[in-house]
Structure 1
Amino acid sequence: MFKNKACMYLRLSKDDGMSSESNSIINQRELIQSYAKNNEIELVKEYVDDGYSGTTYDRPALKDLMEEISKKNRAFDIIIVKDLSRFGRDYIGAGTYIQKIFPQLHIRFISINDNYDSKHADMSDTNLMLPIRNFINDSYARDISNKVKSSQKMKREKGEYIGSFAPYGYKKSEENKNKLIVDENIRDIIKSIFDMKLKGYSSKAIAEELNDLGIDSPKVYKEKQGLHYTGGFKAVKGGNWSAKSINRIIENEVYIGTMLQGKSATINYKNKKQIEKDKRDWVKVEHTHEGIISKEVFYIANRMLKRDLYNTKEKKTDLFSGMLFCKDCNSPLVRRVVKYKEKERVFYICSKYNKEKSCTRHSMKKEDLEEILTGIFEGYLVFHENLYQKIQTIDITKNIVDTQIGILQREKEMTQELLSSLYADLEEDIISKEEYQMFRKNYLEQITKLNENIEHRRKKQEAAKERIKNNEKWLIDIKKYKALTKPDRLSIVMLIDKILIGEDKEIEVIFNHQEEVAFLEAMANSREEKTVRKFVESEVCYG
């Protein structure tokens, strides 16, 4: 060991807030250098933990320091800190180091601002002053932790982004670091990922496609931006895209403008280990920033994600990938290719039959399926065009009326009149003071309940109007598929949920938006205004 040779330990946490200037690494270093010079101590080494909390002792520089003092031929036998809080804010942990570990290793510990030097400390200093200092630091750490959590909770509930790094495809606004804006360099990549999923690519195939095109993975891209990124995107082969990173993007609602935060939390202010929170406790706020893709595309892509999409070795996507199911056992159908006279014939069979022989073949040729589906599509588009024309005749500002609201409003007015007449009845000795108070209480309660009921029904009425508007937009979107001579991949996944194949080759097509279609069809078939009002009133009550 070398007498009077020391190291300085410096630490700064992002939680130090307003005191960061006085506790800066430079300030700590200069103070320790001045102290060492005045006390004839030679500084031979420096350990710095910048950005690490004092409530945990799992810090890289502190670990290196502990490794050094454990050596027989260590370079120093003195540790100097600016104050005890720089070493640690955990009462028990700091006390263990200073009162047990350092003395056992014959290490001298100096805390300048606390006027503490273990070489000159007597029993009262060691056993009384240090625990008090440690307790104060521990309380400070707990207080800081609670304030940070409270602030973060408020920001989450307002839809403000509080992550260290913006999600891939976004960046933090320069004007407001809690606001996400689209990274235009990445916008088209996000769109292409969802587009490939809709086309029938597996997540692995999408990752391979991006790697072949030389597109940087989220981790590599952020590193090139100068960010020390350690996020959740698992990369392979030195930072390439993987199926897992593709899945994380497709599942992330941030791409439709929705903020979903608070998925995990630390155990407490001392233990920084992250634990998953119940989904019911996640904080979800919609319309917090610009979405890159539509909700329709997002939900369909996630539906495809849950299905077993297959790709050929040539990375070609199949028209019906993830869409065909056995009508009897509901298992997905698998694609099979047979070569006959130098021609390839594609057909589909039940996967359960293919693996276990426990169902039947349910075999269907691709060309036959396309022909049948073309006819079904033609009828579907004609039906929706007629439905759209009928919906156009409904004036939602006049026809979507909950007549019960007017009845409740009149009942409320009558109750208010009775309430107003109570005082006159009391003055004229028609009722007693006790009766006055009882009647007044009852009338006020009735008015409160009526107000709540009226407000509830008004909201339901507006929701019914909004539902018609939204579905009208959806009907307009369907029109773009009229120009197709036969269904393509995009029209199939956007309009169809699944296609069921029977053993005798009968086909049942389950279209998307079935509830919306039923709602609009019922509205359209309500010819008379009175009937329409009655229908919507029912929708308001029970919708």
Structure 2
Amino acid sequence: MIDEETFELAQKRIATRQRPTKVDEIDLFSGLLFCGDCGYKMYAVRGAGTLERKHAYTCGNYRNRARNDMLCTTHYIRKSVLKELVLADLQRVTSYVKEHEQEFIETANECSAKAVQKTLTQQRKELDKAQNRINELNILFRKLYEDNALGKLSDEQFAFLTSGYDEEKKTLTRRIAELSQEIDNATERSADVKRFVALVRRYTAIEELTYENVHEFIDRILIHELDKETNTRKIEIFYSFVGRVDTGDKPTESISYFRQIGADVKSYAI
């Protein structure tokens, strides 16, 4: 018989497992990366035969950009930098839980309810905005159709204008479905700190990231855009069952640097 925890973790892997890329490899962070500003999924950017150190991720909203007011920025981040950050933060969290188990349980239970409510508020606000924009697009579609029917707009102009709106509507529809699912999951999910502690106990030490340990420990990762004033990028890691884990330490920093818009960028995880 399979216990409930093992079954749920297996279901999570299935749900986040995307189709293999052109190089027949399921990405390490498949289904876990989201833009920290617009909420859209992050997508892998790589070419067949390229070295992994050149692989990266960008915001899905930026990739699907069209004429819309929800256009986001690239949020480009190297996979090598993200792997280094996630491994270091995972080691920080698991070490803290093992050394301060009771303190962790008390703190996590206290913070969980506040974090869930904050996330729900943000997601509902984004959902309302997306639904309102869908309504605006429907009005624009009807106006363009009427202008085309009355001869005020040529067929070429009609096709050009509606193509951009149609792509935006498809993107919004996908995002609305994602948000609705996330809100449903958040309202049903409560912090299960003891399950996270049990998960930590199963591992003696984590020396490298694998698809299995990443998807067991991590619920989602938010990638924020580069802060040009401080030349840093914030990465938020939310762990399974407990969300973000604050151990009181300084943020986990990446010791790797990469060139972006002519500047060395330092990334850190919280």
Q: TM-score range by the shorter chain?
A: 0.3 to 0.5
Instruction: Name the larger-Rg structure.
Output: 1
Which one has more relative contact order, counting CA pairs under 8 Å at least 6 apart?
2
